Amino acid sequence: MRLSRQRSILQRTRGNPKDRADGLDGAALEAVFAELEREVTAAFARYGITEAEGRYFLRSVSMRYARQVHEVPVPVGSLAAPDAVRGLLESFDRIYEQRYGRGTGSRTAVVEITNCHLQLVQTLPKAALHVASPAGPLVPFGHRRVYLGEWAEVPVYRWEAIPLRASFAGPALIDAAGTTVWIDAKHEARVDSLGNLHLTTC
């Protein structure tokens, strides 16, 4: 299960040739992500989903060169380290060039961060499937006239009444709540252990 939140912000570098990351505030970004983490964790709790093994956060920011319209999503790790923001700029350059081609990036242009994105991901227990197995034997509930070059009576089965793992050859009809399935004489119908219908060539 995934739950996403985002927060619009605006940080931009100052174009300082001596420190490219000048103007970006890693601590402020960390504060935004911490707030988003609290929000999604509380939302999971409201849904009745308790913390369990397999829960993790995915963090990213939207980045672009100044005056550009299109943004590039860049994954974000911890921004607490002193060089973390510089590493974020390097990741942006790499992803930008992967998307738009080698040489399209600029190490001197002003870079903007416009959004913080957070996803909380948790693996939920696999749902147990309980399939009621109709009592056998396999018996049609009636017959119906169909035209096979000439009129003929063919057996008609109710899908929900076919025993699990039962199989039979056509010609036959299978009636379900929203459809009717035609089983040609060259095909065999088989219902698997979950009640799904499979048709194979005889």
pLDDT digits (tens, 9 = 90+) for 124-134: 777 777 777 78
Contact between residue 76 and residue 87 where contact means Cβ atoms under 8 Å apart? no
Q: What pLDDT score was predicted for residue 17?
A: 86
Mention every residue, 6+ apart, whose C-beta is less than 8 A from residue 76: 29, 33, 59, 60, 61, 88, 116
pLDDT digits (tens, 9 = 90+) for 156-198: 999 999 999 999 999 999 999 999 999 999 999 999 988 899 9
Q: What pLDDT score was predicted for residue 202?
A: 82
Q: What pLDDT score was predicted for residue 135?
A: 74
Contact between residue 13 and residue 53 where contact means Cβ atoms under 8 Å apart? no
Identify the weakest region by mean pLDDT among 32-36, 49-53, 56-60, 164-168: 49-53
pLDDT band at 54 (very low <50, low <70, confident <90, very high): confident
Q: What pLDDT score was predicted for residue 35?
A: 96
CA-atom Rg of the chain in angstroms: 30
Classify residue 165 as exposed, middle or buried by CB count within 10 Å of its CB (0-12, 13-18, 19+). exposed
* Domain extents in the chain: 2-122, 142-201
Query: Residue 70, SS3?
Result: coil
pLDDT digits (tens, 9 = 90+) for 132-152: 778 778 999 999 999 999 999
Tell me how far the alpha carbon of residue 1 is from its chain's centroid: 9
Q: What pLDDT score was predicted for residue 151?
A: 96
Q: What would the mean pLDDT of 24-46 be, rounded to a whole number? A: 93
User: Considering only CA atoms, which of 70, 170, 59 is closest in space to residue 116?
Assistant: 59
Q: What would the mean pLDDT of 68-96 be, rounded to a whole number? A: 93
Exposure string over 59-98, b if 16+ CB within 10 A, otherwise e: bbbbbbbeeeeeebebebeebeeeebbeebbebbbebbee
Q: Give, in order, the Cα–Cα distances in Å from 5 to each of 1, 38, 45, 128, 201.
A: 14, 11, 15, 30, 50
Q: What pLDDT score was predicted for residue 82?
A: 80
Q: What DSSP element (H or E) covers 112?
A: strand 111-122
Q: What pLDDT score was predicted for residue 49?
A: 79
Q: Other CB atoms closer than 10 Å to residue 32's CB: what's the count? A: 19
% of the chain surpassing 90 pLDDT:
75
Strand pairing partners for 146? 152
Q: What would the mean pLDDT of 87-114 be, rounded to a whole number? A: 94
Q: Nearest-5° angle of CA 135, CA 136, CA 142?
A: 110
Order of all β-strands in the sheet with 72-75: 2-12, 111-122, 55-65, 72-75
Give yes or no for residue 32 having a pLDDT over 90: yes
